[in-house]
Amino acid sequence: MTPQALVLTALLLGLFVLAGGAYGSLYAAGRLCASETLRRAGFAFYGAQALLVAAVWLTTPLFLGWKVFVALSCLAYGFIPPVTLNYLERLHEPRRGAA
């Protein structure tokens, strides 16, 4: 791997993680504040993350196994915020019959 390829790969993977964090944060803020604008911004970052996966696949010299890992990670990122928020809402809703 050339130094240029290493820098490009590191940059793309760093942006991948950053986009995932922005998606999760904006999605959660949108749900908690009932803001469709924030939720859509979160989904835009998830879309950007998918584009970054494509860039990793097409432009980096990573081994195929790592590229598959990055793609599967992107799929997992899509489920984590909604599933986590649903769980937390159920966990913290008042129980019926509780005083």
Return all residues near 5 (Cβ < 8 A) that are at least 6 apart: 60, 61
Cα→Cα distances 12→1, 49, 64, 84, Å: 15, 10, 16, 26
Q: Quote the Cα angle for 29-32-34, to 5°.
A: 95
pLDDT tens, position by position, 42-69? 999 999 999 999 999 999 999 999 999 9
- Are 42 and 23 within 8 A, CB to CB? yes
State pLDDT tens for residues 9-32.
999 999 999 999 999 999 999 999
Q: Model-level pTM?
A: 0.86
Distance from C-alpha of 50 to C-alpha of 16, rounded to nearest angstrom: 8
Q: Where are the domains of the chain?
A: 3-92
